[in-house]
Each structure stands twice: as C-alpha cells, then as structure tokens.
Amino acid sequence: MRKIVINGGKPLTGEVTISGAKNSVVALIPAAILSDGVVILDGVPAISDVDSLIAIMESMGATVKRYEDSLEIDPRGVQNHPMPYGKINSLRASYYFYGSLLGRFGEATLGLPGGCDLGPRPIDLHLKAFAAMGAEVSYEGDAMRLATEKGQALHGTHIYFDTVTVGATINTMLAAVKADGRTVIENVAREPEIIDVATLLNNMGARVRGAGTDVITIEGVKKLSGTRHQVIPDRIEAGSYIALAAAAGSGIKVNNVLYEHLEAFIAKLEEIGVRMTVEEDAIFVEKQADLRPVTIKTAPYPGFATDLQQPLTPLLLKTKGRGVIKDTIYEKRVNHVPELARMGANLSVISGQVVYDGPNHLTGANVKATDLRAGAALIIAGLMAEGRTEISNIDFILRGYSDIIEKLRALGADISLVEA
C-alpha cells in the first residue's frame, strides 16, 4: 500500500503548469474508436485513469503509442468483444465505451462503471438516450449489453434530458455521430469538456453543432477520419492549484489556465479576499491575509463546480468567521470533513451542508483519501499543517492529478510517495 507523506509548513513559491483535462481525455480516448484512421491526442495527463483506458483500448485491438504527453491511437483493429470485468470496472468514464462501440458496431457488452463513491450516479439517462436511438438493453451476468436489431446503425431522434448530465451528454454525442439522420439533444450539459469532445469529433468529420449551449444537434455521417487534437487545460486541476497557492503559497504562478473556464470559482475567491493577478493564460496568486468566510453552492457549469468545493475547503479554514458549503450535485461529497477534523479543523456536516468556523490551525495526522477531490483537499491541508501528514488510499488522487508529487516538490513542498 502506498502513502503520500507531507511535512507541512514549508514556504511554497514558483510556477506550476496545468496538464490536459482529465474529464476531457477520459472521453476523447474512447471517442477515437469511431475513427477510420489514426487519432493523435496532445496534452494527455499522466494519470492512472489514462493508463486504464489505454489498457482497455489495447485489449480491444487498438494500437496505442505514447510519446511524453501525446497519445497516438490507431483504432482500426478494434474488435467488439464482451468486456465484463477488469479495467472496465475500475473507472467511471468506462461508460463512454458504450457510446463509441454502439456508434461503430451497433452493439456493446461491458461491465458496469466504477469510480469514486459520491452517492447515486445512475446511468439511466444514458440508457434512455440509447434506447431512443434504437438500442435495446439486456444483462449478461455482471455485464450490460446494448444492441440494435441485427447490428444495424442507430437512428437519429429527439432526446430531452430530465436533468443536466455531462456523462450522458457526451455518451449520446458519441453514439449519434454515425447514426442515420439527425439527432437533437435538449437540456444538455455545457461544460468545456463537452466542447472539447465535440471539437475532436468535428475535426474527424462529424457534424456536431451547439456544444456549449443547452441544445446539441448532430447530423450523422458514415465515416470519420483520423486527426490531431490538443486537449484543453484541466480547469479542476487549475482550481486546485490556485486554492493551494492561496492557502499555503508565498507567491505562485499557475500556468496554462483558461480564465473563462473558471469564472465562478475566481469570483468566489475574490469574495473571499484572495489577491491574485489574472493574465492571458496564467494566474499569479500572492501570499494571503485577512480572508473572509463565504457561502458556496455548487451548480452545473457555468456555476461553481462540484469538483472544486473540496480542494477549496482548506483555504476556507483560514478565513475569520463561519461559512457554509452546499453541494447540490453529489450528496456524499462531504467525506473529507472527518479527515480534516483529524487535523484540527473546526467543521462539521449539518443537514447535508458543510459548516466551517475559522481561522484554524492545522496539525499533521494520519488521514485517508475517500475520493479524488477529497484527496486533493487533504494534500492542501497537509501542506498548510504543522508537522507530518500521512495520506492513505492515494490511488484516488493518482487517478486525476498528473505528476502531482513532482509539481509540488518544484514549488518547495516536502512531499513524497512511499511504500507503506
């Protein structure tokens, strides 16, 4: 079992460069299955979710080559074999293979997706969309099979999502780009990662319009060609490092940041009193003082991202007074609270909301990452704290933060990954 060990309280300064977006690349890799040629992705983060997706692609028959932060994917050898177990069950984003395999072969048999335990995350809206396009659902042991009649192509249709959902929006796009006719999807999510996936598909020859709005229209095509695509910067990683810089830094510049992807987050930092300078593709965060408590309520994009409320929590513990965090997306995104309390934080969960009082003086402790973003919160808290912090269950963290140990060491952190 591996652990992350931090000796906190060290001055952190310098620059850090944000990697490509995890939530884009986990969809972009399965999307390559739809191509009739080689797809090259640049800016791919070094995270375990990517390693798992590469393993899945290779087991299907794709040829994948990795060059530093680029992936060269040749999907022409992909075979539609049932995949009920293994890597499929290890990550949430494996459900994107449903859309891409349906789009290419008219059928897919895969195990149910895994990932962080954040409360109910059903895939019923994915299945509703696939069914509307002509796919039937059946179960074979622990696997789910989706198939059109006699492997025919899906057909275009009109789909309305009852709730805004990123996963179902992307999955429906993947399934629809080779469907017969036009597909119109209403009440879709608007996240930048959806635009990124649509950009890749259009560069391959798809006809996707409206990504970034609440209505997406797709005209099906017969063939998609290979292309080269630059993955957008990871806005959640960027927000995490900005929060870290404000909580524990003495002047840190965060590079490869798209401000327009973080407007709600930056606005909340300004409300807290964080001093920073926004540049064209970077944000410089000064050493902070006199921070104010705030109320945070997460919401679908362009609102405050659910993935950023946990990494921001350690900074909120430095504010003077009481504040509240309400996550309207994932009810169980509060598991970092008891772990931070082990470090001396004055916060609790009341009626599903996180209530915090500050300022707090944190001390090192043995804590456990319960999910990806909770792990980021514990790392930031460990860097702030006096003494030694040991974080276990770190596979969650390595799923989503590229080269995190090396990046933090470059800022002056005393942090290491050790075998327990």
pLDDT number for residue 114: 56
- pTM, full prediction: 0.95
pLDDT number for residue 118: 45
Active-site annotation holds for 116: yes
- Output the six-digit token pair for 366: 């043995």
pLDDT number for residue 120: 42
Q: Is 41 helix (H, G, I), strand (E, B) or coil?
A: strand
pLDDT number for residue 189: 97
Please identify every stretch of the chain with a pLDDT value under 50, giving residue numbers as ranges. 116-120
**Residue 8 CB partners (closer than 8 Å, separation 6+):** 248, 362, 364, 382, 383, 384, 385, 386, 387, 388, 389, 414
What count of Cα atoms within 13 Å lies in the side-chain half-sphere of residue 187?
10
Pairing status of strand 2-7 against strand 388-392: antiparallel
- CA distances (Å), 255 to each of 179, 221, 233, in order? 40, 38, 10
- Output the six-digit token pair for 356: 């915090």
Dihedral (C-alpha) 232, 235, 241, 242: value to the nearest 10 degrees? 120
**Helix spans in 256-319 (H):** 263-272, 306-316
Catalytic residue (choose from 116, 168, 216, 238): 116
- Output the six-digit token pair for 249: 């830094």
